[in-house]
Chains A and B, each alone.
Chain A
């Protein structure tokens, strides 16, 4: 926990973070119990600011809402302990080796899945490279391993209009997905790829910016709360990302129903 990240608890609780930064901070929250406690207290405090501006809604709204809800199905409750942060942390040490092995498999599986088209020679090299970089990549790919182990894991792929392809590994049960891509043309310094979670209602949520390395591979991006997300889309945005998409998506992948 860097002191700088920690000071964002206030801005976060007041919804004063832009989407990209909010996403990053939420990832930080998952591993910072102290910040989580502070944010919870701040949210209670912010709620008091809302109570102070209490205003009676128009009378017609009550009947409308009470009628609408009779036609709206409630979300199933989260029953998987995987969304319990503390549980995950407690298991992390024990699962280290399992994760390592599954991670190696994941790296290869993804490479194959998104049609990198590796021949035997390359495969050998790639495996060695994968193993060599595993300790660095472990953190990046651990969510992938986690997902691959989910009972309802599935994968969908897409190709980009501008070249390159992507794969989305999804578990509805974990409410998570990981997006990986390869052969994406490298963007000039002032542009970046950005991933968006598009729901059945509401505006697109940024799921983070994608940085393509020289070989066109991008960092895997974890979408940790899918909720009502129906589609993941990639756009090209000004460096640093945008709050909302400003260009037409170059790739869109629909989640399995």
Chain B
């Protein structure tokens, strides 16, 4: 019976020759379409897992977080509004947020100041930079990251890939808080313009 329902559901999509965009898929998922979700999974699971891995690092934990993110994507697809942003941005914002939640709740159990203090700037930044540099698959992103000033790039990467708060970035770079806030915003403006991101 269930198979029959599935095949009826699938029929109209086979008539469409163009592959669905992530936005179309997510809108379909909001209607409870499991087939559309499987397709969406194939599009977003790589970047979702990739960004979670960058922040969480531990493989098993990353798998756990990524799996939670993908299930949450199914659960909350009903709240997605294509007018407010792309489906990829929606999915990856969720993934990054959950990754950061995970590392910060783990950190809360320890003395955070001590932890940050004991990590030398060079090590923290090199780890992130190295991991990313070897994995950067998109020439454009690499080029655009290279177009930032050194301090903007360091700040953006420590915040996004490192999962650090701007206070932690400030500590790592021995830089005033206000300067870091400004660098993050200016860095994103430059990246946005370089990548030609529009809404």
Contact = CB atoms under 8 A, between A and B. Distances in A.
B67 A45 contact: no
A14 interface: yes
Given A46-B92, A69-B34, A201-B68, A16 B49 contact: no
B25 interface: no
B181 A56 contact: no
Name the interface size band of chain A: 35 or more
Interface residues of B, number: 78
Interface in A3-23: 4, 7-11, 13-18
Grouping DSSP codes into helix (H, G, I), strand (E, B) and loop, the B interface class, with mixed when no group exceeds half, is: helix
Contacts of A74: 30, 32, 74-78
Counting chain B CB atoms within 10 Å of each CB, which of A14, A72, A243 scores highest? Answer: A14
A166 B86 CA distance: 41
Please name the 10 residue pairs, one residue from A and one from B, whose CB atoms are nearest each other, closest first.
A10-B185, A10-B184, A55-B50, A57-B49, A244-B108, A50-B51, A52-B141, A16-B159, A53-B50, A203-B105
Interface of B: 30, 32, 34, 37-38, 41, 45-51, 53-54, 63, 66-68, 70-71, 74-79, 84-86, 88-89, 92-93, 95-98, 100-101, 104-105, 107-108, 132, 135-138, 141-142, 156, 159-161, 163-167, 169, 178, 180-189, 191-192, 195, 197-199
21 contacts: A7-B181, A10-B184, A10-B187, A11-B181, A40-B85, A41-B197, A42-B188, A48-B191, A52-B142, A54-B46, A54-B50, A55-B50, A56-B49, A64-B67, A65-B45, A65-B67, A68-B67, A73-B75, A201-B68, A242-B108, A243-B104
